[in-house]
Chain A
């Protein structure tokens, strides 16, 4: 837990806080991108190269773009809400978020991966990840592939329906 970790963690938390507290929605989306980059940095700091670069490639390269496209194509005005960024039920939201965080933290600490054994951490090369995906975890891989195919087909159908609806 050297200085690198603290810096990257501070960066990530700053990005996440900015994502919820900024007034301009596109600024929030860009701050979320910064948080994704911070997460990628954390992965890299733990020597998980594949996870880190896949995070950048997928999250920053595709998901962040998706988020900004969604914002742009649905909200036409850039003016923020008059009531500030805190809604009326912010306390409930905070309580729920704290509860979820506590639960995940407890689950992590209770599991075996929670206790860091420096010497026993294996170097996860990409080849090992590949073999694991194709060997032991092939069922989750295929299910995720099916899910993505379903999403793709659904998107095409929704777009087609819109086109046929206008004719």
Chain B
């Protein structure tokens, strides 16, 4: 009975597909999976938007929206209706074709990332050998759409915002990949399904999630930083900083296209949280051995929503980083730490099973982190100011 609850969506799909002739069953199964993804993740997007507004409000000592529906639950519907009925303004000098295609491309690429996330036991849309690489390929393609949006608006602020956004995304792409390579090294496979299965084991009731290992914890922190920067979330949201660049690369978008950008950004957040849970938090596996009776997809979605809550929490807490501070942080701190993490993982594998490797690896990572932190936080000693006058 519990197994049925766990596999309920798979069984449902098989039952529906059983009505069709055998030749069409494979394609129909895939189509049903796609319909599932397209209906579930925008619903999660609506919930995430509501959580963000109410959560940020409470963190800032104010109520969030609470007029539409009880406690403001129907606010996303009101937002959707508003964005659909707004006038769609395209500037006269804008490149109409590229201006139209940019949000479409963003949403398409954002949805593609969900195809390889294992949402539950046996519940992944496409099970590929190189699914992690596919995911990163789709993530890298979003930069093209941001550039298209910024350039086609023929607006200096949009272009500046787009350049900054693309530079930021490229800088943080490398730490993102490097912190995931560590997982691949230990699991020995790029397939996300195998990564989750490798974490689905338990010792003394505790799971083998990679976040509970020293290198996994370090990699998770760096993945979280890089993921926040990839999706242009605070504190890395300079490209869309309202106080600096109006709205950055989507200044000239109104109405439904703006809603599509918004959707694309939150879908990116959801999918990168999904990948983070798959790689580090064990995907659909339960936190304790006694809790494995709960259906697997419930665990996956809870972990994803927990990651979203943490992202919102960080947004409400930290101030925005300046562009050069952002890039310095990526190239001078996060990237060397990821390389160090790679070497620590190699050491972990080399030392074999047992307790010494825990101590050695934790010690190395902690020492380097503290040393680098102290080095970076030393105050710069400025000399006396010198002025150069224009001759």
Contacts and interface: CB of A to CB of B under 8 A. Distances in A.
Touch between chains A and B, by CB atoms below 8 Å: yes
Interface in B101-143: 128-130, 133-134, 136-141, 143
B140 A125 contact: no
A134 interface: no
Interface residues of B, number: 26
A27 B98 contact: yes
State the majority secondary structure of interface residues on B. helix
A65 B173 CA distance: 13
B166 A54 contact: no
Given A60-B140, A72-B151, A53 B170 contact: no
> Which of the four size classes fits the interface of chain A?
20 to 34
B148 A53 contact: no
A9 interface: no
A57 B138 CA distance: 7
B144 interface: yes
A68 interface: yes
A139 B14 CA distance: 50
Interface in A26-82: 26-27, 30, 33, 49-50, 53-54, 56-57, 60-62, 64-65, 68-69, 72
A126 interface: yes
A60 B130 contact: no
A144 B86 CA distance: 52
A42 B134 CA distance: 15
B147 interface: yes
B190 interface: yes
Q: Report which residue of A30, A54, A69 has the largest number of chain B beta carbons within 10 angstroms of its beta carbon.
A: A30
The 6 closest A-B pairs by CB, nearest first: A61-B140, A56-B137, A53-B133, A57-B137, A49-B130, A53-B137
Interface of A: 24, 26-27, 30, 33, 49-50, 53-54, 56-57, 60-62, 64-65, 68-69, 72, 125-127
Interface string B92-103: 000100100000
Contact of A126 (B98, B148, B190): B190
A68 B130 contact: no
Interface in B155-183: 159, 163, 166, 170, 173
A3 to B, nearest CB: 15
A66 to B, nearest CB: 9
Given A30-B98, A65-B143, A57 B148 contact: no
Contacts of B137: 53-54, 56-57, 60-61
B129 A49 contact: yes
Contacts of A64: 144
Given A53-B134, A53-B137, A61 B173 contact: yes
